[in-house]
Structure 1
């Protein structure tokens, strides 16, 4: 029994010893790893290689050597030159005066009027007229500290870094000859022959000539302005990758996005997510989750919840389609004009007018907006449709519209009664944004409800047929109408209206399609299957004499 206990105690002692040894080994291993993270400090002495005269006072200053004229010192691979110097033997440090020069290899040279060098920490502090030269890069300042352990020079009282492409200035900065990376803080300015970049914080590589934007920054050239708080700008290729809601401005056009790619040489930019391209001159805007703009050709493209917004009239018009494309013709000439193309599933909303169609083109040359494939317009209680609708603008407001083939306008009186007019083609004329006159040509059919003046109650139903009709409107309602030429008509009292006379043969009320607000433009709702328009082969009519009569004022 005693032997068993002795054996057990022996094994336990060895277990504890083994565990302790393993813990000690782990601590040593971690300590060794931590030491590898820090640059190794060399303990070598600062050596005197040459001086024309050397002095020492072993009584008053036993640890100081005074060196005069043509002084040359060395610490490891670093050589130091100056007019005179003091060597402090106890601290292994040097003070150097006049025409100070430090050389490391054949690539790094540092000049100044004064140097204090600590051989223990390998830190050099140079003052007055300091220049650090690393191949094609020169750093100039009046106060520079150079840390040999980290191969890093930094200034803190203003400095300038110059390479083949750029000149950078700031209040504080650092430069690594090994990585060719510099960092600048406070009043940063990068001057390039083609642009100027100002920032609060900037990182710059003298090898790649890429500036990394780390704080609020502006890049200004003759033609445009970039604002960004985070991103990259290649000062050689003039390409930028910008993040965090950066802004690109060019001649009144402002492109904003969560991220932007911009090529200044090729003159185009791409923006991604929550994009806005705002034209402050013409007061319109493109939005979407992707936008492309070429400032040289004047072309633009927006997709992914793309919206064109016109805010020139105070009440903004919002227009959505799968794709919005802007094309500029004869740019930078007196004959310049633009086309806005929107396709497919187009929906538009403004408080006073709404529209849907499959595709749309606006041409600034004739200020005409053409709606294709099942176009429908709503104006208050009125609905207008046809195979094709052309709207002619005057200073961003509708001047007149032309409905081509199967033209049909409907005015809702209540849930049962509708004023209706159909014909081969129709022209509507506007005054101050309100439709005041409508001319209908070809196979005209009319259903009209006259009203009592005193209480606006319906008097009856007036059904008429003819070849040409002119209607006058007031307050967005049909006021009166008259046929020009032959016409047939019948007046039915309200209690004697035949069931088949309530609606014209092609009647369709598309209230379920109508955009309700600016958010509803994203919800496409097509026509019901039994209400699809069959496109005719007829071309627009040649307007007769009556169609050329000027509108009533």
Structure 2
């Protein structure tokens, strides 16, 4: 009996010697494909023989090694038959000094190289730290998963979710169910999200709501990415960006933080809800610092007024904010002194204006217009038309070198034809009623033309009709001032002031060309006849606009 005990003690001593020897020496790298789990150190160990298993119980400062991975803990059971380790207390897995995992308990399948950790679990690499209560980590495939809630922290970004998968070699994480991301630049909520910890880029793969920090801006998206390091973002699939008063959507939206610039491409819709203005376009740019909007590729401006809607098409639309020390009146003067005074009283930092360039066409139920360029400011609610402008109101064509249309409470209030002003009304083939002057002022009531004041070298040609409507003569008059009054959108009275001179000639035998005033030009072919003519410029955007009129 004594002999057997001596042999057993010698065997244990010999078995322990390699353990202490390996711990004292530097650990030589081994091929990670090796499945053998080596005992590097333990304060004590006990061999346990069971029917089908050979188990080693290790206690005190336990260190194990498999390939280039080290395992340390307070105690462990190592099943040598199944190559399984169950470890307890202060678990630390060190995989090639690149990935570290910590927990209270470890169940490790040595053949599959799959570790299941529980209790205050922490997974860490150079890019992030992951916290959860239960984690499965495949050391061979470098994949970690949790299913019972967890949190990933990467620099200043924190992500939480019900479940997640993290690829340690790719530095990519995929989160599912009740996903929340918090970053100094933004927060988001979704049910599915991909995140790259090396580039700090979030990829959106499901309906996502993003709130920008220190801003009222909210983004609704389901496809795109946000890179906080580069300050760049892309939102696809008709994403929507809203703030307190504006909304933007398009096929694709881009943002560049360093440039302070946003770009929208494909069926763009930009809406200013506070001013009831919408812009449709194929392409648009916005700039944070200047608060400007540039729209190209067949842009269309829609202005919803009180009893009408104004549609404006052009080659280019531009919108900006008037600077604090600048006013509209310093750029574009009018003859209405009261409007100038009202403009100066406003806070210019809140005044938005719109400009349209080249091939400008306007349509509304009450009036239509064309010009080479147009300018509108909310400072005085005035439309300004430049370069060959023409305005049509009912059956009347209005011309001038420059035309101003003032509005009030979203209704037409006053019209100014400045220099070479002329009003033309065709009443028959080759027959035109005409009024001409240096300047013509028109005044509206209930959005309809009420009366007009022709000032400076006024001239008129008027075809006289009898009670049955037959033409009996042509009245041509010149004077200082002519006032024209309208009823039911037709002329019912003309008043000549300042010693009028002229005569009425019989229409029979008259050469109608002789009764066309100087600079007469009938331009009916330029007149827009329906909003559909203008909407053809942005059919795709209009389709989205109609189907999403109530979107945020």
TM-score category by the smaller chain? 0.7 to 0.9
Q: Could you say which residue in structure 1 is the equivalent of 2:399?
A: 385
Once the two structures are superposed, residues 388-409 of structure 1 have per-residue CA deviations (whole angstroms, 9 ceiling, x without a partner) of 1122221332211111222111
Q: 1:285 Cα deviation (Å)?
A: 1.5
Name the counterpart of 2:491. Answer: 478
Kept in 2, the 8 Å contact 1:56–1:62? The answer is no
The match for 2:546 is none
1:544 matched residue in structure 2: none
What TM-score do you get using the length of structure 1 for normalisation? 0.81
CA distance in 2, matches of 1:246, 1:459: 65
For the 8 Å contact 2:32–2:66, the answer to whether it is kept is no
Question: Per the alignment, do residues 389 and 59 of structure 1 end up closer, same or farther by CA in structure 2, a change over 3 Å counting?
Answer: closer
- Structure scoring higher RCO (CA < 8 A, sep ≥ 6) equals 2
Report if aligned partners of 1:109, 1:134 keep a CA contact under 8 Å in 2: yes
RMSD: 2.6
Q: Does 1:311 align with 2:292?
A: no
Could you tell me whether the CA contact under 8 Å between 1:469 and 1:482 is conserved in 2?
Answer: yes
Are the equivalent residues in 1 in contact too, given 2:47–2:55 (CA < 8 A)? yes
Q: How much has 1:490 moved relative to structure 2?
A: 3.5
Contact 1:349/1:518 (<8 A) preserved = yes
Worse overlay, 145-154 or 488-497: 488-497
| Cα displacement (A) at 1:319 | 0.9
Q: 2:444 aligns with which of 430, 451, 459?
A: 430
Any idea what SS the aligned residue of 1:512 has?
helix
Confirm or deny that 1:109 pairs with 2:123. no
Is residue 39 of structure 2 the alignment partner of residue 52 of structure 1? no
The CA deviation string for residues 351-371 of structure 1, in whole angstroms up to 9 with x for no partner, is 221111111222333333221
Deviation, 1:61, is 5.5
Matched, 1:65 2:65: no
User: Structure 1 stretch 188-197 or stretch 483-492: which is displaced more?
Assistant: 483-492
Encode CA deviations 1:182-233: one digit per residue, 9 max, x unaligned: 1212222111123212223222222111222222222212312222222221
How far did residue 489 of structure 1 move?
4.1
- Could you tell me which residue of structure 1 aligns to residue 412 of structure 2? 398
Judged with a 3 Å threshold, the aligned counterparts in structure 2 of structure 1 residues 83 and 101 are, in CA distance, closer, same or farther, namely same
Residue 503 (structure 1) shift:
4.0
2:405 and 2:57 map into 1 onto residues whose CA distance is 94
Q: For 1:246-268, what per-residue CA distance to the aligned partner results, in whole angstroms no more than 9, with x for missing partners?
A: 22223311122222221346533
| Alignment partner, residue 374 of structure 2 | 360
Instruction: Say whether 1:197 aligns with 2:210.
Output: no
CA contact (8 A) 1:447 1:463 kept: yes
Counting only pairs closer than 5 Å after superposition, residues 145-160 of structure 1 correspond to structure 2 as: 145-160=136-151
Equivalent residue, structure 2, for 1:441: 455
| Cα drift, residue 494 of structure 1 | 6.3
Q: Following TM superposition, by how much is the alpha carbon of 1:470 offset from its aligned partner in structure 2, in angstroms? A: 0.4
Q: Is the 8 A contact 1:212 1:231 kept in 2?
A: yes
Is 1:258 matched up with 2:251? yes
Q: Indicate if the aligned counterparts of 1:325 and 1:342 stay in contact, CA closer than 8 A.
A: yes
Determine helix, strand or coil for the equivalent of 1:97: strand
The match for 1:270 is 263
Q: Provide the rounded CA distance (Å) in 2 between the counterparts of 1:114 and 1:312.
A: 69
Sort the Cα spacing of 1:469 and 1:59 in 2 relative to 1 into closer, same or farther, 3 A.
Answer: closer
Q: Distance in 2 between matches of 1:215 and 1:399?
A: 49
Residue aligning to 1:249: 242
1:492 deviation in Å?
5.4
CA contact (8 A) 1:298 1:331 kept: no
1:323 is aligned, of 293, 316, 328, to 316
Whether the 8 Å contact between 2:431 and 2:512 is mirrored in structure 1 is no
Please say which of residues 131-140 and 257-266 is displaced more in the overlay: 257-266
Shift, 1:378, TM fit: 0.6
Query: For 1:520, what is the secondary structure of its paired residue?
Result: helix
Match of 1:168 among 159, 167, 184: 159
- The question of whether the paired residues in 1 share the 8 Å contact of 2:34 and 2:67 is answered with no
| Rounded Cα–Cα distance in structure 2 between residues aligned with 1:331 and 1:260 | 30
CA distance in 2, matches of 1:469, 1:294: 48
Q: Aligned equivalents of 1:447 and 1:364: distance in 2?
A: 37
- Counterparts in 2 of 1:262 and 1:390: CA distance versus 1, 3 Å: same
Question: Displacement, 1:483?
Answer: 0.5
C-alpha separation in 1, matches of 2:324 and 2:52: 81
- Asked if residue 240 in structure 1 is aligned to residue 254 in structure 2, the reply is no
Structure 2 partner of 1:463: 476
Map of 1:511 onto structure 2: 524
How far has the Cα of 1:304 moved from its partner?
A: 1.2
Kindly indicate whether the alpha-carbon contact (under 8 Å) linking 1:165 and 1:236 is maintained by their aligned counterparts in 2.
Answer: no
For residues 330-389 of structure 1, what are the alpha-carbon distances to aligned partners after superposition, in whole Å with 9 as ceiling and x for unaligned? 369923333322111111111221111111222333333221111100111111012111
TM-score, length-scaled by structure 2: 0.81
* Number of corresponding residues: 484
Structure 1 residues 63, 304: closer, same or farther in 2, change over 3 A?
same
Shift of 1:47: 2.2
